[in-house]
Structure 1
Amino acid sequence: MRELALRLATARKGVRRVVNGIEYRVDSRCRHRFAPGYEAAGAGFLCKRIAPGAVVYNVGANVGVLTVQLARWSGPRGRVLAFEPNPYATCLLKRNLRLNGLDSQVEIVGVAIGDTVGDVTLHVSGANGMARVMRANPLLPKTEAVRVPVTTLDRFWGSRQVKPDWIVMDIEGWEVAALRGGRELLSATEVGVVLELHPDAWSWCGDSRADLER
């Protein structure tokens, strides 16, 4: 009942959260994701390097904890493309962007990024950020298999011609496949890449550290 009451009371303006020194309004259902020091080391690195007007690919945006920060750092002249295939997370991501007036600066791209084009099975647990491709994350007690569209960084870049200054990626083990699908983009342009590695999941996708280092 308390959660329902909070959701109703904050339906219009959301809940106030301060993340890495920046204030946001967020949907009450995901307020605990917006921790005060969320990924502080990574955020500190990025905020010093993402210049006003930068274009950022946020691959694995989830509900937008990092997305809203990337949008603030790149400023009103910047652009963030938030790739998120989980339909449950996308609903909250849209709302969090609206609550912060960032829905015109951030474009949500509802696809997974990998090394192929088509569709793939994503094992989700609501909007939880630990959803994984190919096999369910053992840290999630209950998951649902959903089919989602997948494309490559090269295909997306080739079709849209939106050159990123930065690629920020956290996709729970599929990062090697995503980089493999972006070889043309990464070799043809100067782009900074920041990614979270999940080596425990690489074998599920048929990848290894050697594949990452190629």
Structure 2
Amino acid sequence: MKRFFLFIFMVASISLSANNYRTKSEGSFTNWNQKRLQLLSFFLPANPVILQAGGHYGNETISFAKQWKESRVISFEPNPHAFQILSSKTENISNIQIYNLALNHSSGNAPFYVCHGTKGADAAFEHASSLLKPSQNMEVHYQGPIIDVECAVLDQWCYENCIDHIDFMCLSLQGSELQVLKSSPQTLKNVRCIAVHTFSFPFRIDTTQYTELKNFLESCGFQLLTHWYKEGLDGDAIFVKKRYFLNNATQDFLDNHEINRKYRRYYEPFFKTYYDLDDDEDSIKKILKQGFVYEGNIGLILEELTKFGSVALDIGSHIGVHTVTMSRKAGAQGAVFAFEPNKKLYMELLNTLNINKCENVISIAKALSDFPQTVVLNNICIVQGVDESMSGDLVETITLDSLNINNISVIKMDVENYEYYVLKGAKDTILRSKPVIVFECWIDTDYENSGPKKKANFDRVMSLMESYGYEVYVIYGNDFIAFPVDVTGKLADYKKKFKKLDVNNFDLGC
């Protein structure tokens, strides 16, 4: 069974971790803010509600409003001087609302320690101001006036302002992030993503330490996606609700199983890829154990079609044979989404990506379909609907369109006769990016005498492709490649390598 979900993302010196990957990266902050916005866009709707605590002078606030033009951006800034600048910069931006408030664990007024640097006279250091008192060792560096500011508890404030959910929360509170989060459990339930400034040094009294923050968010159902930081100082972390990647059953499986001594490491020299394989009677694993390349022709096509800096999709990833190829070609500026709902294969997929140092992949242990539902996943295929007599695992499905992915250069789809449902749920995504689609679809070499069910599925898949504005070409056997009808340039030349599918003159190249 070859299937569905993974994502890891790496930019410059940033490492993204969706599951069992390294969770830090050190180096320059070059372009980090823009790369962070690109990463967050994978997990947010087109019209997110964004809450920012610590708006400062508004540069980040404005970047959110520009990235998500249909968003509602709510920004808090308690420092009167910073708030004045924030107000002047954002007054003509209609989707930004600003409040001269501090988020805190309790409402009412509280002392706010404005930072004006070592000499206490430079407003350029105001970004380091906080509700927390500077630690004894840092008082000399955090000099400045102490003022009273109005505070609000986020749960109460959202209730009073009729805000029923927040999609993305960005906290830059100079150490009080955990206090704010703990005081607002209701709001936290409906948050998709959280970006937080992190600390590994007690700059202020009661500064939130990163490990404590991470443990708390994980207990609330979040999963660390990426953490960039300067060794021994501070950084930025992004957490995403774990349910985006996998369900409880898959998480339980990962918690109780591992790649152990039953697995042996193999090296495939053509694509230079390592695999840890067990004794499972799996056709793909058998081929790899024998030292052969699995679907080498498909691998080469994907290598040629995955554009550097783009997004590639591996729908039905299995253990990651093609995921690794696309990951390397997409590069540090690109990303791969790999979908694999089979729990064991998902674990092995994560391992393959880990040992091959693929750090630009997002893994999701769910199946793609035409609408969200629960289906049965057995050793052969996905079965629509749920019946107690069916054997197999229950898996959650989502639509590709629900993910709001853009800039897709290529989609590889191997979903064991489930292509039609995946494509139906991907219409908007396909029409928006117009990627090349490499896919498998079962049919006999004798088209007219193929079984009625097989022929009916084949016909509806090809018809759906055509309705999306695609032409289908034959790679070999049951492997096909679809190009947009209006493709030009290098892709127009590339498709000449293949023979166009013609059911009236059926030739699968076999």
Residues 33/84 of structure 1: CA separation in 2 closer, same or farther (3 Å cut): farther
> Match of 2:355?
99
Residues 211/71 of structure 1: CA separation in 2 closer, same or farther (3 Å cut): closer
Give the whole-Å Cα distance in 1 for the aligned partners of 2:460 and 2:378.
26
* Alignment of 1:108 onto 2:363: yes
AA of the residue aligned to 1:25? Y
Identity of matched residues, %: 23
Q: Deviations over 1:90-118 (max 9, x none)?
A: 0111111111111x311111110111212
> Match of 2:417?
173
How far 1:190 moved relative to its partner?
2.2
How far 1:199 moved relative to its partner?
4.1
Give the whole-Å Cα distance in 2 for the aligned partners of 1:95 and 1:144.
27
> Match of 2:294?
38
How far 1:196 moved relative to its partner?
1.0
Q: Which runs of 5+ in 1 are unaligned?
A: 1-6, 125-130, 136-142
Q: Which runs of 5+ in 2 are unaligned?
A: 1-259, 385-389, 445-450, 465-510
Residues 90/24 of structure 1: CA separation in 2 closer, same or farther (3 Å cut): same
> Match of 2:400?
153
Residue of 290, 295, 307 corresponding to 1:51:
307
* C-alpha contact 2:367 2:395 (8 A) present in aligned 1: yes
Residues 155/199 of structure 1: CA separation in 2 closer, same or farther (3 Å cut): farther
> Match of 1:120?
375
Q: Secondary structure of 1:165's match?
A: strand
Give the whole-Å Cα distance in 2 for the aligned partners of 1:202 and 1:114.
23
Residues 38/122 of structure 1: CA separation in 2 closer, same or farther (3 Å cut): same
* Alignment of 1:60 onto 2:316: yes
Give the whole-Å Cα distance in 2 for the aligned partners of 1:150 and 1:64.
20
How far 1:17 moved relative to its partner?
1.4
* C-alpha contact 1:173 1:199 (8 A) present in aligned 2: no
Q: Deviations over 1:10-55 (max 9, x none)?
A: 97xx624125x22122113275353533212222222222222221
* Alignment of 1:18 onto 2:278: no
* C-alpha contact 1:16 1:23 (8 A) present in aligned 2: no
How many residues are matched?
A: 186
AA of the residue aligned to 1:203? K
Residues 94/183 of structure 1: CA separation in 2 closer, same or farther (3 Å cut): same
How far 1:198 moved relative to its partner?
2.2
Residue of 324, 328, 332 corresponding to 1:76:
332
AA of the residue aligned to 2:301? F
> Match of 2:473?
none
Give the whole-Å Cα distance in 1 for the aligned partners of 2:352 and 2:299.
19
Give the whole-Å Cα distance in 1 for the aligned partners of 2:372 and 2:412.
21
Give the whole-Å Cα distance in 1 for the aligned partners of 2:419 and 2:295.
18
Between 43-52 and 84-93, the greater mean CA deviation after superposition? 43-52
* C-alpha contact 1:59 1:84 (8 A) present in aligned 2: yes
Give the whole-Å Cα distance in 1 for the aligned partners of 2:339 and 2:352.
15
Between 85-94 and 74-83, the greater mean CA deviation after superposition? 74-83
> Match of 1:132?
381
RMSD: 2.7
* C-alpha contact 1:33 1:65 (8 A) present in aligned 2: no
Q: Deviations over 1:116-154 (max 9, x none)?
A: 212111113xxxxxx30118xxxxxxx941100101111
AA of the residue aligned to 1:77? Q
Q: Secondary structure of 2:305's match?
A: coil
* C-alpha contact 2:413 2:440 (8 A) present in aligned 1: yes
Residues 210/118 of structure 1: CA separation in 2 closer, same or farther (3 Å cut): closer
AA of the residue aligned to 1:56? A
Q: Secondary structure of 1:53's match?
A: coil
TM-score after normalising by structure 2: 0.34
